[in-house]
Chain A
Amino acid sequence: MGTRATGSAGSSGSRVRAAIAAVGDWAAAGLKQVGDRVRFVGGVSQLFNETSKWCFRGMFLPGHKVGWRSLVAQTVRVGVLAIPIVVIVQVFIGVILALQLAPTLERYGQMERIADVVGIAIFRELGPLITAIVLSGFAGASIAAELGAMVESEEIKALRAHALNPIRFLVIPRFLATVLMLTGLTVIADIVGVLGGFGTGVLVLGVSPSAYLSATREALVMKDFLTGLFKAGVFGVLISMIACYEGLTVTGGAVGVGRATTATVVKSIVALIATDAVFTAVFYVWEL
């Protein structure tokens, strides 16, 4: 009996110890995750700070010029090559919005109001957001992979060894190209998204073209367009900074490059949607 009681107490003691150890491990893993997130946010912020400084120097100080050839190359890669996919995606978004809204609006006899909703939704939200999400996969992943490969092939080290700053030579062109082209692509996305809704409304739902266009003109005001463009610019900053940070901090060879590419897309999408939510809330409160 005594032996059994001791054995039982011992085994329950070891179970408690195991439980405490498990909680400890879980807490340690949680803290490490939090630490990693803080390090990531801090690293991206520091990169943005350095990038802003180099942009300023490039604009105002002699001898710090931005490499225009590199900027043009990045602009083509980030923006021009993305035009077809942005157009296709945004036309579909316009079609989907129109078709999803049609039954409800038809019930209220307000079918031509499709133009209002499609226009506002695309100009304020879906134009910049969907374009940014497309670009995070199209350009963000490729920037991270390219910079990661450059880290692995010692190109970044070679730049520093030649007293050349990698932020100036590699980050600035990608940053400017992403911000400029995301803003430009958003304009295209806004137009083709509305055209997608227009085509669906006119060809499928029987709304007259003139009614659709006049409803769109009445519904949209300049601030819808400008708030969308402002968001696009900020989204461009987020995508380029996350992609450059992930690329420049690659370790572990080809596996590390793959990890950076995936992390760029995932973190960019989370950051984009979270930032969009904040903007929407702020614009709602300020009635913008």
Chain B
Amino acid sequence: MTGIVSNAQVVISVVDLAKSFEDAEGNPVYVLDGVTFDVLRGETLVIMGGSGCGKSTLLNCLIGEYDINAGKIAYRTKGMDAAVNIAGMNERKLNGIRKRIGILFQSGALFNSLTVSENVALPLQEHSYVDRSIIDIVVTLKLQQVKMLGHRDKFPGQLSGGQKKRVGLARATALDPEILFYDEPSAGLDPVTSTAIDELMMDLSKKLQVTSVVVTHEMDSAFRIADRMIMLEHGRVLKLGRREEFEALRDAKPQELNTDTERLIHQFLTGANQGPLTDTDGMSEFEKLIVSG
């Protein structure tokens, strides 16, 4: 953490989170181990790390999709007197939390049998008690926000990847959530569309005053949108800090880096071929694991 923050500023508090999966022999393999961090109200927190470091698993734990092995994920959204730990929470109570959050999935995850406007309307129809005419107005507003109003009667199969993400974002914000989660929002998009999605995310964060948690390994995008950043490595938090701290590490000359951690983060952020993430043969630890069987 940078500085001291009051409890009221903390929207999500993750403490000593551990999550394992079983391997082929039934032995537990820990994907997350001892992960601890806070998400502050109104900030955009970017979670980054290499492939297989546990970013997506962490996101799935945060939204209650995965049961966790140990630790605590406490939400403190508006109107809550005290933080609520979602670990081990039943589906009904968890749904109460889920109605306060929005999620943009990597592929957009639109419902293919519904049109664009029906996709956005679905959470409103199910979780609000307003007239159809009001829902139509809200859907129009949400689609306008993501510049997809002209496509409201199309089916997801008729949209491009970037358009699907825009509609996914409109659906994620349909219930005016307090927290928005983004899973690889720039993945699979060309640089121009990726920048457009980033700007849309920043615009929505500002207009709707939401807290954003973004999982990504696209560095350009991460530095564009982040207030704070977390770097994960082998299921542990390697560094948590403000964007400027990571920018300083990225722009540092190799001789200015004092520790292995700094060198590793520098290599990840710059995408350099040489460094702690790869050995002198230019092989990553994952490639070495594959070669050694």
The reply to whether A73 and B107 contact each other, CB–CB distance below 8 Å, is: no
A53 within 8 A of B: no
A157 within 8 A of B: yes
A73-B113, A155-B112 given as contacts; is B107 within 8 A of A161 (CB)?
no
The reply to whether B103 and A158 contact each other, CB–CB distance below 8 Å, is: yes
A154 CB contacts on chain B under 8 angstroms = 105-107, 109
Query: Total interface residues on B, using CB and 8 Å?
Result: 23
Instruction: List residues 188-209 of chain B with CB under 8 A from any CB of chain A.
Output: none
The reply to whether B109 and A153 contact each other, CB–CB distance below 8 Å, is: yes
A150 CB contacts on chain B under 8 angstroms = 112
Q: A73 to B127: give the CA distance in the assembly, Å.
A: 24
Q: A184 to B74: give the CA distance in the assembly, Å.
A: 51
Residue of A nearest to B63 (CB): A161
Q: A199 to B36: give the CA distance in the assembly, Å.
A: 77
Instruction: List residues 55-82 of chain A with CB under 8 A from any CB of chain B.
Output: 70, 73
The reply to whether B127 and A161 contact each other, CB–CB distance below 8 Å, is: no
Q: Which of B96, B99, B111, B127 contacts A158 (CB 8 A)?
A: B111
Q: Measured between C-beta atoms, what is the minimum distance from B135 to chain A in Å?
A: 15
Q: A94 to B123: give the CA distance in the assembly, Å.
A: 50
B65 within 8 A of A: yes
A188-223 vs B, Cβ < 8 Å mask (1 yes, 0 no): 000000000000000000000000000000000000
The reply to whether A163 and B107 contact each other, CB–CB distance below 8 Å, is: no
A164 CB contacts on chain B under 8 angstroms = 122-123, 126
B98 within 8 A of A: yes
B95 within 8 A of A: yes
The reply to whether A163 and B65 contact each other, CB–CB distance below 8 Å, is: no
The reply to whether A162 and B107 contact each other, CB–CB distance below 8 Å, is: no
Instruction: List residues 158-187 of chain A with CB under 8 A from any CB of chain B.
Output: 158-165
Q: A155 to B114: give the CA distance in the assembly, Å.
A: 12
Q: Measured between C-beta atoms, what is the minimum distance from B223 to chain A in Å?
A: 26
8 closest A-B pairs by CB: A163-B95, A158-B109, A154-B109, A163-B98, A161-B103, A154-B105, A162-B123, A163-B99
6 pairs of residues in contact across A and B, judged by CB atoms under 8 Å: A70-B113, A73-B113, A155-B110, A163-B94, A163-B96, A163-B127
Binding site for A on B (CB under 8 A): 63, 65, 91, 94-96, 98-99, 101, 103, 105-107, 109-113, 122-123, 126-127, 171
